[in-house]
Amino acid sequence: MNDFWQHCSALLERELTPQQYVTWIKPLAPVAFDAAAQTLSIAAPNRFKLDWVKSQFSGRISDLARDFWNAPIDVQFVLDPKAGARGAAPAVAPRPSVGATAAATGMAPTAAATPTAAPEVIAHAAPNPAVAAAQAAQAAAHAAAQAAALNADDAADLDLPSLTAHEAAAGRRTWRPGSGAPAAGDAADSTYERSKLNPVLTFDNFVTGKANQLARAAAIQVADNPGVSYNPLFLYGGVGLGKTHLIHAIGNQLLLDKPGARIRYIHAEQYVSDVVKAYQRKAFDDFKRYYHSLDLLLIDDIQFFSGKSRTQEEFFYAFEALVANKAQVIITSDTYPKEISGIDDRLISRFDSGLTVAIEPPELEMRVAILMRKAQSEGVSLSEDVAFFVAKHLRSNVRELEGALRKILAYSKFHGREISIELTKEALKDLLTVQNRQISVENIQKTVADFYNIKVADMYSKKRPANIARPRQIAMYLAKELTQKSLPEIGELFGGRDHTTVLHAVRKIADERGKDAQLNHELHVLEQTLKG
C-alpha cells in the first residue's frame, strides 16, 4: 500500500503544477488496503479537500492503482479520523469584549499578532455550541442595551431597507435557509434594490480556470447550503481577479433558489459610513435590527475596516448574531486574513473559523477565454489570434484585460478598421511599452539579490551557503512564475544549471509559500516590485 502511494504521488507530482500537488495530493495518506475485496482507502485532512479530490482526482488515482496491481481497485476516499477528533474542539476560545474600552478611549482594539502559516485553503472546525450560544446571548444583550439607549427617529438617512412591522416587533426574520417559501410581503419587495446585488454577475458568466476553480467550487457549495457549508467564506486576492463577481453570483443564485431571502451586498467603506451615520443620527437600533436579520451578508474589501475600532466592534456583534442564527457571511479582502493590519484579534479568529480561499491571477488560457467572452457580450467577433496576443502581454488581472479590450474596440470604431493584431498593437501601444519593460530573468535576479543583500553574481555561481542558495531558489521560482521561459532556459541563466534543479527549487518554494507566512509576504513584496 505504501509502495503504491509513493509511486502514485511521484507520478502525480510530475503531472500537476507544484501548487496543485502541494494543495491536494501531498495532504492525502493511504490508510487501508483490502487485497481480498480489492479496495484502497485514502484519507483527506478535511471535508472540503475530500470532496474536491473525489471529484477531480479519483479517476486518475484509480487508473494508477489498477496499473500498479494489475487489477481493478475500488479507491475510496475517507475523512481522516484525526480530523474528526479535532472537530470536536471549539475553533476559537471565547474572549472578553474590548468594545467598552474602545468606545470609552477611542483606541482601536489590539491588532492581530504576527501572522503564522498562510495556506491557500484552510478549513476549521465549527465553534462549540455552548460557546456560540453564549456569544449569541452577549450579542443580543448588547443590541438590546443599545436599542434602549438610542432614538431611531432619524433612521431614514441610513441605507437600510425597512422590516415588516411584525419583524420589527419580534426582531425575527421572515425566512431562514431551509425553512421553505418566503412570506408574501418579502416577495413583493424590490429584491435587487434591497440586496444591492448586481443581477448581471452570475456563475454562468464567471470564466473559470485553474486560478479560480477552487474559489468557484466553494462559492457554489455555499450558495447551495447557506449557513451550513463554510461559514464564513473568506475570499482573498489582488485587485480585479473576480472576488466581487463571485460573491454577487452567490447572492443571485440564492435569490433564484429562495426569492424571499434577506440578502445584502455592501462594500466595507459603505458599512463604515453607515456605522458613523447610525451613531450621529441615534438610529443604531434600526441599524442592528437590519443587519442582524439577514440571511446572507456579503462584505467586500474588509481591509477597509483597518483601524476602525467602532466599526469592528459592531461588525463583530453582527457576525456573532448571524452565525448563531445559521445565516451565511461571505467576506472578501485583498490579502490573507492574518496579514490584514489594524484588525482586532477577535475578528481575525472568526474569519479563520470558516473556509479561506485564494484567487490567483488568471493563467494564459483563462485570459484568452475572458477576452473572447467579453467581446461576445459586446456583440463583437474577436479572433483567437488577437485574444491570444493580448492575453500573452497582459497578465495581471481581469480589469486590465477588459480595459485593453475597450481600447481596442474604441480604436477600431474610431478608425473604421477591422480588429487585427496590427490594429491591436497600435491601440495598446502605450500599454505594451510599459509591459515590455517588465519582467526579465535578469531583472528578477537583480531584484532578489538586492532584496536579500547578496551579489547578482551569486545567482549563477556554484556557491551553496544557505544565505545564497535560498535567494537563488526564490529567484528561480519567480522566473518560472513571471516569465515565459522554460525550465532549461531558466537553468541556463542561473549558471548553466540542469532543469531538474530549477524544478526542485520551484516546487520547494511553492510548497513552503503555503506554510510560511514570512516567505509568502517576501514573495508578495518581490512580485509587486517586479510588476511595478
The binding site for ATP comprises 240, 242-244
Task: Give the phi and the psi of residue 69 in degrees, each rounded to 5.
Answer: -100, 0
Task: Quickly tell me which residue has 451613531 as its cell.
Answer: 279
Q: What single-letter amino acid sits at 41?
A: S
User: CA-CA distance, 262 to 353, in Å (whole number)?
Assistant: 23
Task: Quickly tell me which residue has 448588547 as its cell.
Answer: 142
Strand pairing report for 263-267 and 296-300: parallel
133: helix, strand or coil = helix
Please report, in range form, the residues annotated as the binding site.
240, 242-244
Which of these, 477, 481, 432, lies nearest to 459 by C-alpha position? 477
Strand ranges for 272-421 from DSSP E: 296-300, 328-333, 355-358
With beta carbons less than 8 A apart as the criterion, state whether 530 and 438 touch.
yes
Which of these, 387, 165, 145, lies nearest to 285 by C-alpha position? 145
Residues 6+ apart with CB under 8 A from 269: 301, 304
- What's the number of CA atoms in the CB half-sphere (13 Å) around residue 261? 27
User: CA-CA distance, 485 to 399, in Å (whole number)?
Assistant: 25
Task: Quickly tell me which residue has 456583534 as its cell.
Answer: 317
| 79 bridge partner residues | 44
Residue 342 DSSP class: T
Task: Give the phi and the psi of residue 183 in degrees, each rounded to 5.
Answer: -70, 150
With beta carbons less than 8 A apart as the criterion, state whether 201 and 245 touch.
yes
Q: Write the burial class of residue 386 (CB in 10 Å: 0-12 exposed, 13-18 middle, 19+ buried).
A: buried
